[in-house]
């Protein structure tokens, strides 16, 4: 069932959104990207004659109500973006939301209080899901960031809407982008994996080895591979217990004819600091006491050339400590090369928290094909795992 074709006329739609936005100490929203992301779905339902009941989590409340995690702080801003006054229920279950939902008219929006004020949400409690379900006729899931969790509002609830459940536009576009990469990648397909640790990325690398032509490794995880090959890595970040896995991935890449590209040079620093002394060395000759914090110029040139020649690109994780100016060249060059390749017709997907921050930092988000909003959910989907929130609707 597609949101595009569904007839919402006179229907109450319960929409799971991801309004987990950052708030400052004055409880003002400092980044409303996630709220904006849900607007196409909300507006579609309203404009086709339905009403919208919004449910979300915000932060990590421990035991019940906490002022700083109340969704009431979002009411004004959601109203402004939606162009209509949003009603607010100070609980997500019980008589209050039930009455308010009953009286909701076509074109109106009701926002429910934080789902995680009830521990049943994260536990995936069925009665809790049934109570939420009783508020509406249709269920729409548009919260990709929590699709990998089997929570009451993201997965369990779907069974109460056997004929009337669907994804919102946001999840739909996330799935379309990832499926394009997993199922129908145009060759050459290059994946660029970076970030601090290889342990977070082993499963996705294994899944990608079945599909890619080029696999670029960068960032802190490089040094586990370099050490596994017998190189000198000085004080660089390393996972000693993953050396065997790194060797195994190198072998698998060879067996599958994947071009595995490890950096050949790097910028090393005498301490982990924005003002550290730096120099350039071969990747496997990091002096004792020094640490590699970015890829070097030779590696940048090689990696950027490969990216520019690619037709499908997946990027997850920075090439160095891009938060510090001295160590951002690698990450910035990769971001620019991806934008260039996209301009020449490649399909590019950027996912995972820090590469998303990087692409935003360099103001290139609108020059790539798709920027995923779903950190952990995106990684799990790309690993080939089933996400409870997706399976609950797609089957
Ligand atoms: P991840 O969350 O695994 O994608 O890791 C992202 C973090 O890895 C960023 O904050 C980077 O600063 C950090 N990082 C990237 N390269 C290195 C490196 N060579 N040494 C230490 N940390 C790094």
**In a mutational test of the pocket of ligand 1, which residue from 202, 350, 354, 356 has the highest number of ligand atoms less than 8 Å from its CB?**
354
Residue 334 reports pLDDT greater than 80: yes
Stretch 195-217: mean pLDDT, rounded? 94
For residue 373, report the distance from its CA to the centre of ligand 1, in Å: 19
Instruction: Provide the pLDDT for residue 345.
Output: 98
What does the pLDDT look like over 321-330, one tens digit per residue?
Answer: 999 999 999 9
Residue nearest to atom 6 of ligand 1 (CA): 195
Mean pLDDT for 311-334 is 97
Q: How far is the CA of 159 from the centre of ligand 1 (A)?
A: 40
pLDDT given at position 18: 96
Closest ligand 1 atom, residue 294 Cα = 19
Mean of per-residue pLDDT scores for the chain? 96
In tens, the pLDDT along 10-59 reads 999 999 999 999 999 999 999 898 999 999 999 999 999 999 999 999 99
Residue with tokens 């970015």: 294
Asked whether residue 204 carries a pLDDT value surpassing 90, the answer given is yes
**Mean pLDDT to the nearest integer, 283-309:** 98
Mean pLDDT of 299-305: 98
pLDDT of residue 374: 84
Quick check: 63 pLDDT over 90?
no
Distance 343 CA to ligand 1 centre (A): 28
Which mutation among 318, 329, 350, 359 tests ligand 1's pocket best, with the greatest number of atoms within 8 A of CB? 318
The whole-angstrom separation of Cα 129 and Cα 268 is 52
Determine what percent of the chain is predicted with pLDDT higher than 90: 95
Pocket of ligand 1 (CB under 6 A): 195-197, 200, 219-220, 237, 292-293, 317-318, 320-321, 323, 352-354
Atom of ligand 1 nearest to the CA of 318: 15
Q: What is the pLDDT of residues 346-380, one digit of tens each?
A: 999 999 768 989 999 999 999 999 999 888 899 99
Ligand 1 pocket test, candidate residues 194, 197, 205, 219, most atoms within 8 A of CB:
219
pTM: 0.91
Whether residue 317 contacts residue 355, with contact meaning beta carbons closer than 8 Å, is answered with yes
- Whole-number Cα distances in Å, 115 to 22, 61, 83, 90, 134: 17, 10, 24, 11, 15
Half-sphere exposure of 9 (CA within 13 A, CB side): 2
**Residue 31 to residue 171: CA distance in whole angstroms:** 20
CATH topology of domain 3-167: Rossmann fold (3.40.50)
How much is the pLDDT for 211? 95
pLDDT value of residue 124: 98
Measure 200 CA to ligand 1 centroid, in angstroms: 12
Atom of ligand 1 nearest to the CA of 324: 12
Q: Which of ligand 1's atoms lies nearest the C-alpha of 196?
A: 8
Q: Contact, 111 vs 87, CB < 8 A?
A: yes
Q: Residue ranges per domain, the chain?
A: 3-167, 174-382
Distance 341 CA to ligand 1 centre (A): 24
What pLDDT digit, counting tens, does each position of 188-203 carry? 999 999 999 898 899 9
Please report the pLDDT score of residue 395 as a whole number: 87
Active-site positions read: 34, 197, 353, 376
Q: Which atom of ligand 1 is nearest to the CA of 219?
A: 16
Looking at residue 148, its pLDDT comes to 95
For residue 321 the two structure tokens come to 């400590």
Residue nearest to atom 12 of ligand 1 (CA): 321
- pLDDT tens digits along 129-153: 999 999 999 999 999 999 999 999 9
Average pLDDT on 258-278 reads: 98
Q: Which residue has the CA at smallest separation from atom 2 of ligand 1?
A: 195
Q: 221 C-alpha vs ligand 1 centroid, how far in Å?
A: 8
Using CA atoms, how far apart are residues 370 and 351, in angstroms rounded to an integer? Answer: 9
Q: Can you give the chain as a three-state secondary structure string? A: CCCCCCCCCCCEEEEECCCCCCECCCCCECCCHHHHHHHHHHHHHHHCCCEEEEECCCCCCCCCCCHHHCHHHHHHHHHHHHCCCEEEECCCCCHHHHHHHHCCCCCCEEEECCHHHCCHHHHCCHHHHHHHHCCCCEEEECCHHHCCCCCCCCCHHHHHCCCCEEECHHHHHHHHHHHHHHHCCCCCEEEEECCCCCCCCHHHHHHHHCCCCEEEECCCCHHHHHHHCCCEECCCCCCHHHHHHHHHHHHHHHHCCCEEECCCEEEEECCCCCCCCEEEEECCEECCCCEEEEECHHHHHHHHHHHHCCCEEEEECCCCCCCCHHHCHHHHHHHHHHHHHHHCCCEEEECCHHHHHHHHHCCCHHHCCEECCCHHHHHHHHCCCCCHHHHHHHC
Position 254 scores a pLDDT of 97
Decide if 311 contacts 189 (C-beta within 8 A).
Answer: yes
Q: Is there a shared CATH topology between the 3-167 domain and the 174-382 domain?
A: yes
Residue pLDDT, tens place only, 224-237? 999 999 999 999 99
Nearest to 226 by CA among 212, 214, 213, 240: 240
- Of 191, 192, 196, best ligand 1 pocket probe by most atoms within 8 Å of the beta carbon: 196
Q: How far is the CA of 379 from the centre of ligand 1 (A)?
A: 16
Model pLDDT, residue 213: 98
174-382 CATH = 3.40.50.1260
133-157 core/surface letters (b: 16 or more CB in 10 A; e: else): bebbebbbbbbbbbbbbbbbbbbbb
């Amino acid at each position: 069932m597609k949101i595009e074709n569904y007839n919402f006329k006179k229907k109450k739609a319960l929409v799971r959104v991801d309004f987990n936005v950052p708030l400052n100490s004055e409880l003002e929203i400092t980044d409303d990207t996630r709220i904006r992301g849900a607007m196409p779905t909300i507006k579609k339902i309203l404009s086709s004659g339905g009403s919208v009941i919004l449910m979300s989590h915000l932060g990590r409340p421990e035991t019940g109500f906490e002022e700083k995690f109340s969704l009431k702080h979002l009411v004004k801003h959601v109203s402004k973006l939606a162009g209509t006054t949003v009603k607010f229920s100070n609980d997500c279950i019980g008589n209050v939301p039930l009455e308010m939902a009953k009286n909701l008219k076509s074109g109106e929006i009701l926002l429910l209080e934080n789902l995680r004020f009830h521990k049943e949400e994260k536990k995936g409690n069925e009665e809790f899901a049934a109570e939420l379900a009783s508020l509406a006729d249709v269920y729409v899931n548009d919260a990709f960031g929590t699709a990998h969790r089997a929570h009451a509002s993201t997965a369990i609830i779907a069974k109460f809407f056997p004929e009337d459940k669907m994804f919102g536009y946001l999840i739909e576009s996330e799935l379309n982008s990832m499926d394009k990469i997993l199922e129908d990648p145009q060759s050459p397909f290059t994946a660029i994996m970076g970030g601090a640790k290889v342990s977070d990325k082993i499963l996705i690398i294994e899944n990608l080895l079945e599909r890619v032509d080029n696999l670029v490794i960068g960032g802190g995880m490089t040094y586990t591979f370099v050490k596994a090959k017998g190189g000198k890595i000085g004080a660089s970040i390393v996972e000693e217990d993953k050396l065997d896995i790194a060797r195994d991935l190198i072998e698998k890449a060879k067996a599958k004819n994947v071009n595995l590209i490890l950096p050949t040079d790097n910028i090393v620093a005498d301490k982990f600091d924005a003002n550290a002394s730096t120099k350039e060395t071969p990747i496997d000759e990091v002096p004792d006491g020094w640490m590699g914090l970015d890829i070097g110029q030779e590696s940048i040139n090689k990696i950027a050339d490969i990216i520019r020649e690619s037709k499908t690109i997946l990027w997850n994780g920075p090439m160095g400590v891009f938060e510090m100016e001295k160590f951002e060249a690698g990450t910035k060059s990769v971001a620019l090369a991806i934008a260039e390749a996209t301009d020449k017709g490649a399909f590019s997907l950027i996912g995972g928290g820090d590469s998303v921050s990087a692409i935003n930092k360099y103001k290139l988000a609108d020059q790539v094909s798709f920027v995923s909003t779903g950190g952990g959910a995106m990684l799990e989907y790309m690993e080939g795992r089933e996400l409870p929130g997706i399976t609950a609707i797609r089957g």
